[in-house]
């Protein structure tokens, strides 16, 4: 696990828990920090993320055979995302992927870096690759807009919510209407020993993880460990748009990916919830989502957004009426929840549909 961030020593810093332990939840004013981050006036400390590198001449062809993504021809500086799946197509690892021409960098949740490095090492066989968990040496920092002072650092630019080559959108929202386009996202790789100096040189204020999470939720962006469980498949989270290439070669879990996409429907769907904020509290992640008196899913992430108020992501049964008013139940305290579709209930069963539904990639600024 990554060491605690040196930025926790900043005045007003309050350490986060859960997935974001080791970095600051906020520095004294979460909503102000969130607004500054959204406006491109702040950066956020993501140094609890894990960083794994793969070197060697076979690195891209090897990762191509293991993962859901086409990375064989990944150009230096190009950003993408990949998934490592079980034989049943369930998500075991995801990684933000960047190659610098000599090594491939995988940015992951901090707790998963050791297990990812161990698994990749076990899959080397006789190939010319070397895997290293470099989380102790490298930190990650995020920003909505590029940071000119950090031009010398490697930067991963989130492809979300574009539909990347070979991908497919499971959302009914028009591409121009997808809220993810309001939150472009960049993650910089910075030597851990120089993180404090880099923040100073950025010329921007600091925003805590609460700010970054609220913007992520509003962008409908799923996160490993939050929106995932031991049964989740990419279709349920709309990750087919950025993390899966539907026409690449074989990889573990491909059969499930193809079967559900072409012939079936995902059993659950990710949904955005606008919560009743009159209680002035937030439900906990993991709270039940109710349709009437029937439990139909669970809240996966929740935040107070600086403009929209209380918002959440939830994973619910596909069959739930998209127009239904839902309730979130947190140990007896209930919150009215209006749902907004992320994954359409009609997603899947692509075979036999009219042609032209595969949305083409959209250029990112």
The whole-model pTM stands at 0.94
**pLDDT tens readout for residues 90-105:** 999 999 999 999 999 9
| Mean pLDDT calculated for residue range 209-220 | 98
Confidence of residue 34 (pLDDT cuts 50, 70, 90): very high
| Three-point CA angle 145, 149, 154, nearest 5° | 75
Whether residue 49 is found in the same domain as residue 186: yes
* Per-residue tokens: 119: 């698994």
b/e map of 46-84 (b: 16 or more CB within 10 Å)? bbbbbbbbbebebbbebbbbbbbbbbeebeeeebbbbbb
**pLDDT tens readout for residues 259-310:** 999 999 999 999 999 999 888 899 999 999 999 999 999 999 999 999 999 9
Number of domains in the chain: 2
- Residue with token string 């918002």: 311
Whether residue 290 is found in the same domain as residue 202: no
Strands (E) located in 182-293: 186-191, 205-207, 268-275, 288-291
Domain residues for the domain of 69 are: 6-218
Q: Please check whether residue 290 lies inside any domain of the structure.
A: yes
| Three-point CA angle 135, 54, 56, nearest 5° | 145
Q: Please check whether residue 349 lies inside any domain of the structure.
A: no
Q: Please check whether residue 110 lies inside any domain of the structure.
A: yes
Q: Please check whether residue 239 lies inside any domain of the structure.
A: no
End-to-end Cα separation, the chain, in angstroms: 34
**pLDDT tens readout for residues 50-60:** 999 999 999 99
| Separation CA 79–CA 186 (nearest Å) | 10
State the DSSP string of 59-77.
HHHHHHHHSSS--TTPPTT
Q: Supply the pLDDT for residue 348.
A: 86
Q: Please check whether residue 88 lies inside any domain of the structure.
A: yes
Whether residue 292 is found in the same domain as residue 214: no
Whether residue 169 is found in the same domain as residue 305: no
Whether residue 210 is found in the same domain as residue 65: yes
Q: Please check whether residue 316 lies inside any domain of the structure.
A: yes
Q: Please check whether residue 30 lies inside any domain of the structure.
A: yes
Could you tell me which residues are beta bridge partners of residue 294? 291
Q: Please check whether residue 242 lies inside any domain of the structure.
A: no
Q: What is the CATH number of the domain that holds 333?
A: 2.40.30.110
3-state secondary structure string across 117-151:
HHHHHHCCCCCCCEEEECCCCEEEEEECCCCHHHC
* Contact call for residues 10 and 50 (beta carbons, < 8 A): no
Whether residue 289 is found in the same domain as residue 163: no
Rounded to the nearest 5 percent, the helix, strand and coil shares of the chain are: 25, 30, 45
Q: What is the CATH number of the domain that holds 190?
A: 3.30.1360.120
């Amino acid at each position: 696990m990554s060491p605690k961030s040196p930025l926790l020593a900043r005045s007003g810093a309050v350490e986060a828990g859960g997935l974001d332990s080791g970095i600051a939840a906020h520095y004294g004013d979460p909503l102000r920090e969130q607004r500054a981050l959204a406006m491109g006036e702040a950066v956020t400390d993501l140094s609890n993320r894990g960083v794994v590198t793969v070197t060697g001449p076979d690195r891209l062809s090897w990762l191509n055979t293991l993962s859901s993504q086409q990375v064989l021809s990944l150009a230096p500086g190009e950003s993408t995302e990949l998934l490592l799946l079980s034989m049943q197509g369930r998500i075991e690892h995801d990684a933000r992927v960047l190659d610098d021409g000599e090594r491939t960098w995988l940015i992951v949740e901090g707790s998963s870096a050791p297990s990812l490095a161990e698994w990749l090492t076990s899959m080397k066989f006789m190939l010319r690759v070397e895997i290293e968990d470099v989380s102790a040496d490298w930190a990650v920092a995020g920003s909505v807009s590029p940071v000119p002072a950090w031009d010398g650092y490697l930067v991963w630019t989130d492809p979300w919510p574009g539909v990347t080559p070979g991908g497919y959108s499971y959302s009914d929202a028009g591409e121009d209407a997808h809220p993810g386009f309001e939150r472009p996202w960049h993650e910089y790789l910075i030597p851990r020993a120089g993180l404090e100096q880099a923040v100073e040189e950025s010329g921007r204020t600091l925003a805590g993880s609460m700010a970054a999470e609220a913007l992520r939720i509003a962008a409908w962006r799923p996160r490993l460990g939050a929106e995932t469980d031991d049964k989740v498949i990419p279709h349920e989270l709309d990750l087919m748009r950025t993390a899966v290439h539907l026409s690449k070669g074989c990889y573990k879990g491909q059969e499930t990916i193809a079967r559900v996409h072409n012939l079936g429907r995902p059993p659950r769907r990710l949904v955005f919830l606008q919560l009743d904020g009159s209680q002035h509290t937030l439900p906990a992640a993991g709270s039940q989502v109710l349709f009437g008196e029937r439990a139909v899913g669970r809240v996966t992430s929740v935040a107070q957004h600086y403009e929209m108020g209380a918002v959440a992501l939830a994973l619910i049964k596909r069959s739930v009426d998209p127009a239904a008013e839902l309730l979130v139940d947190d140990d007896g305290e209930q919150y009215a929840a209006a749902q907004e579709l992320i994954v359409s209930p009609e997603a899947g069963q692509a075979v036999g549909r009219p042609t032209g539904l595969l949305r083409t990639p959209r250029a990112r600024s």
